[in-house]
Structure 1
C-alpha cells in the first residue's frame, strides 16, 4: 500500500535556502523545566548557523547559553494549501569575542526591540531538518478527502 501523507522531506541545502528567506522564526528552549517558545528575528550565517540579537540581560540569554535548543521557521499559504517548515537543532552560545561582536553589530541581524546593551547568540546547526507540504493525501495515487 502506498500512502502519501502530503509532505516531502527536505534536504539540508533546501532547508537553508528556505530558512534564509524567512523574516521571523521561533527559538525553543527550556524554561523552569518546561518547553518555551519565543518568536525572534534572526539571520543565517554561511553553513547554516542561526544568529539572534537580544538584550544582554534578557532571560533568553540566561536560558540558552550553553544549552541545546531548537530553532524553527516556516511559511504557510492557507489559500494555496502550501507550507514548509525548517528546524535547526544544536547548542546555543553567546558570542563573547569583542572583535566578532563588533563585526556582527554591522552585519548581523537587527533587533526589532533595540536595547542599550545587546549580545548575539549563535545556534550551531548540528541537525537541520525540514518538510514541505506538496499536496493532499493520496492512497495508490488517489486523493483522499480531508
Structure 2
C-alpha cells in the first residue's frame, strides 16, 4: 500500500504513466487517468491496450508494472516525481468495475471499458526543492 511522503505526493494527482516492466524493455502506456483507492492505484484502460492484454494473460499474481506521476512547476522547476512498481491485475468483478468507471473520467477520447488495479510493492520518489529548503 502507498504510505508516507510518496503517498501524500501522489494522492492529489489524477494522471500517471503506467509501463509494463517485463519482458524488457519497459513498454509505456502513455498518459492515463488514475485514482488511489485503499492504497492501490486504479486506472481505466481499453481493449487494445498492452496493459489490458497482459493483465488478461497474467498469472494470479498479476503482471509487473511501474507507474510514474509527477508535478513539476515549469517556471520554478520545483515539485515532485514518484514511481510505483508493483503487480497489476485486471478488474473483473462487475460491481467493482462499475465503481471505477464512475470514479475515473478518461483523458483519451475513446471507450475505456476496462480497469486495472496496481498493488504497490516499491515506491520511490524525489522532491525538487530550493537549495535553502
What TM bracket, shorter-length normalisation?
0.7 to 0.9
Partner of 1:90: 86
Structure 1 residue 95 displacement after superposition: 0.5
CA RMSD of aligned residues (A): 2.4
Partner of 1:132: 127
In the superposition, the TM-score normalised over structure 2's length comes to 0.78
Partner of 1:119: 114
Q: Which has the larger radius of gyration?
A: 1
Structure 1 residue 55 displacement after superposition: 1.2
Structure number having the greater strand percentage? 1
Contact 1:56 1:118 in 2 (8 A): yes
Aligned match of 2:98 in 79, 102, 106? 102
Structure 1 residue 28 displacement after superposition: 1.6
Aligned match of 1:27 in 18, 34, 42? 18
In the TM superposition, 1:44-83 aligns within 5 A as 44-47=36-39, 49-64=40-55, 65=58, 66-83=62-79
Distance in 1 of aligned mates of 2:37 and 2:9: 13
**Structure 1 residue ranges without an equivalent (≥5):** 1-10, 139-146
Moved more, 24-33 or 83-92: 24-33
In the superposition, the TM-score normalised over structure 1's length comes to 0.72
Greater relative contact order (Cα < 8 A, sep 6+)? 1
Moved more, 11-20 or 33-42: 11-20
Secondary structure at the aligned position of 1:110 is classed as coil
Distance in 2 of aligned mates of 1:57 and 1:78: 33
Secondary structure at the aligned position of 1:112 is classed as coil
Contact 2:19 2:65 in 1 (8 A): yes
Contact 1:30 1:63 in 2 (8 A): no
